[in-house]
Structure 1
Amino acid sequence: MQRICVIGGSRYFGKLLVQLLHAAGHQVSVVNRGSIPPPAGVEHLVADRDDEAALTAALGERSFDVVVDQVCYTPIQAAIAARVFNGRAQRYVMTSTIEVYDPATAALPVVAARTPIPEQTVDPGAWRVQLDLPWHDTAYLEAHYAEGKRQAEAVFAQHRGFDFASVRSAHVLGGGPQEFTGRLAHYIEHITQGTQITVHAQALPTVFIHYRELADLLLWAATATDFTGPLNACSDGPLDVRALSAVIAAQTGTEAVFRSVGAGEPASPFSFDRHYAMSNARAKELGFHFSHTARWLPEAVAEATPAAVAEAVVETLNAPPASARTAAANAATTAT
């Protein structure tokens, strides 16, 4: 049994992670602002992580084997956590993102097109931290999400007060209504309604991960391994936006309609005109086994498809072919 603190952990794969940790017999404490309580048997510590004094007070004299930080978006938040957990945590795992590799948001080393991006492309130990930027401004943070994550990783990596690992997650899908970003639902809606999806003429592949697989990986990263530094988390089987849409179209019995735009123009959420699909080789070498996107994506689509649409699709798929319907109608006319 390990003593584990989860910061956030109130929704989606973070909520599932808390459940998995508790089920595995660990002593789990969840820190959040109190709006959503954790499961029974999990300690609830109420504090705003941005308030250093309140966070310190909520923790009291507690210490932890591992902290899993699900909601760190800025270097300021990371700096507060590094000070508060210094001396009371042995290992710190931060959930990060594929977006740290986006070449549109930072000057990064050039990687050959379609070559899986390795972790060393962004080294948090050497990344510049700028605490004086307006990280408290919501609009600024939204526009600089990737840089906020890069600098947050950098604060922890350069802190040296505990062992630090970051899990850089691919685009997370699955869970139906739990998938709060709505990106998969965006494609399902457009494809089932026959409306156009805007894609780049030369759309490049990206990588995905199922929310349950990401929760499993975070459980493994927190309790079953002692790696440090960044780790990419993605299922096998990259997909571009057209291939993703083809899976949805096949699952819903409909057809995707596209409108192409050039490089640099706005497009739908998973259409990318720049390459930064991650490599998961390091995680595999450390012993984690990933599934293939093709194994779980149809289920994820089914979970996110509205019931009314699903019922209509089933009726369409179960209906006899047009020739049989015509013959039946003719037979009915003759009988009367």
Structure 2
Amino acid sequence: MRDVLVIGGNRYFGKRLVDRLISAGDRVTALNRGSASPPSGAVHLVADRDDEAALNSALGDRTFDVAVDQVCYTPRQAAIARRVFADGRARRYVMTSTVKVYEYEDSLVYEDAVVPVREDAVDPRTVPVALALPWHKPEFRDTHYGEGKRQAEAVFAADGTEFPYTAVRVAHVLGRDDDFTGRLDHYAQRIRTGTPIAVPTENRPATYIHVDEIADFLFWAVGQDFTGPVNAASHGLLTTEELCAAVARHIPDGRTVFQNVDVGEVSPFSFARSYGMDNSRASGLGFTFGHIQEWLPRAVAETLGADAGKGE
């Protein structure tokens, strides 16, 4: 039996992780700002994780085998976490990061070839940290999501007090009927009405993972002792066209129309550069990934459901 702290985790794959931990017999403590209660069986702590004093007070003298941070978006939040959980309060820290840490030009040059990117393409020990940026502003944080995660990893990786951490770089997540992002529905609405779907002129594929698979991965990672960045993605790549074809199968009489754009906003799962991740590190450590083509039809059906063929 392990003592596991989950920070955030009230929705989507976070709540599925909590369910898996409780079902396995782990002692689970869930910490959030009080906006939602965790699943039955978890101890509930309320604190704003941006308030260091409040976080320390809520945790008290509790210690944990593993802390899983589902809502660390900025280097400021990472710096608070590192101070709060140092000196044995958590023996290991697992942060959910993102494929978007790879989106910066100085990180790698994968634009011209579909080459799955390895973890060492972004070494957090070499990433500069800018704590003075306005990370406290939601609009800034939202528009700098990948950079915030990248710098948060850098804070955990920095020299200093020993801090065993793992950064799980999560691929684009699909599946289930509680997907709050609305990204698949974006495509469904346009296919249903024949509205053009904006894609880059050079539209590149990406890696994905099912919501249940990433919950399984995080549950597995809790029981491991490896540290550093690790990519979490199903096998295989998926283009916007393939994703739309899967959506269109659930919309009788729908019409899929693509519109190439060189400048401007594109649809949610359209990318001017490759977002394929190499998952060989995690596979070598013992996790078995599925293939995207095996679960894609199910994921689309789960999210769109019976309403997929209905009008507006």
Q: TM-score, normalised by structure 1?
A: 0.88
SS of the residue corresponding to residue 270 of structure 2 reads coil
Aligned to 2:282: 283
1:232-259 per-residue CA deviation (whole Å, 9 max, x = no partner) reads 1111121110111111122434454223
What code does the residue aligned with 2:166 have? Answer: A
Please list, as runs of the form range in 1=range in 2, the aligned pairs for 1:306-317 lying within 5 A after superposition.
307-310=306-309
Q: What amino acid does structure 2 have at the position aligned with 1:54? A: A
Q: Distance in 2 between matches of 1:187 and 1:214?
A: 23
Deviations 1:141-167 (A, max 9, x none): 122111100000111111543211000
Secondary structure in 1 matching 2:192: helix
Are 1:239 and 2:238 counterparts?
yes
Over 3 Å counting, the alpha-carbon distance change for 1:300 and 1:276 in structure 2 is closer
Residue number in structure 2 paired with 1:97: 98
Q: Are the equivalent residues in 1 in contact too, given 2:198–2:261 (CA < 8 A)? A: no
Q: Residue 245 of structure 1: SS of its match in structure 2?
A: helix
Q: Deviations over 1:111-167 (max 9, x none)?
A: 361000100011112211111111112221122111100000111111543211000
* Counterpart code for 2:192: T
3-state DSSP of counterpart to 1:257:
coil
Counterpart of 1:170? 171
For structure 2, list consecutive stretches of 5 or more residues without a partner in the other structure: none
Aligned position for 2:38: 38
Deviations, residues 193-250 of structure 1 (Å, cap 9, x unaligned): 3222112232110111111100000001111x21111011111121110111111122
Residue segments in structure 1 that go unaligned for 5+ positions in a row:
313-336
Q: Distance in 2 between matches of 1:21 and 1:220?
A: 10
For the 8 Å contact 1:170–1:209, the answer to whether it is kept is yes
Q: Percent identity?
A: 52
1:250 equivalent in structure 2: 249
Give the partner amino acid of 2:172. H
Alignment match, 2:65: 65
**Could you list the per-position Cα deviations for residues 167-207 of structure 1 after superposition, in whole angstroms to 9, with x for gaps in the alignment?**
0001111111x111110111122112322211223211011
Answer yes or no: is the 8 Å Cα contact 1:200–1:272 preserved in 2: yes
Matched ranges for 1:68-87 at <5 A: 68-87=68-87
Counterpart mapping for 1:105-254 below 5 A: 106-111=105-110, 113-158=113-158, 159-176=160-177, 178-223=178-223, 225-254=224-253
Aligned mates of 1:228, 1:253 — CA distance in 2: 48
For residue 198 of structure 2, give the secondary structure of its aligned residue in structure 1.
strand
Please give the per-residue CA displacement for 1:259-313, whole angstroms capped at 9, x wherever unaligned.
Answer: 332444421111111123211111111111111111211112112225344479x
Amino acid at match of 1:122: V
Query: Is structure 2 residue 5 aligned with structure 1 residue 23?
Result: no
Q: Distance in 2 between matches of 1:195 and 1:311?
A: 15
Equivalent residue, structure 2, for 1:50 = 50
Q: 1:248 to 1:108 in 2, by over 3 A?
A: same
Larger radius of gyration: 1
SS in 1 for 2:124: coil
Which segment drifts farther, 123-132 or 250-259? Answer: 250-259
Give the residue type in structure 2 aligned to 1:249.
Answer: A
Q: How many residues align?
A: 308
Q: CA RMSD in A?
A: 1.6
- Distance in 1 between residues matched to 2:157 and 2:252, nearest whole Å: 48
Moved more, 240-249 or 257-266: 257-266
1:330 corresponds in structure 2 to none
The separation in 1 between residues aligned to 2:161 and 2:167, in whole angstroms, is 14
* TM-score, with length taken from structure 2: 0.94
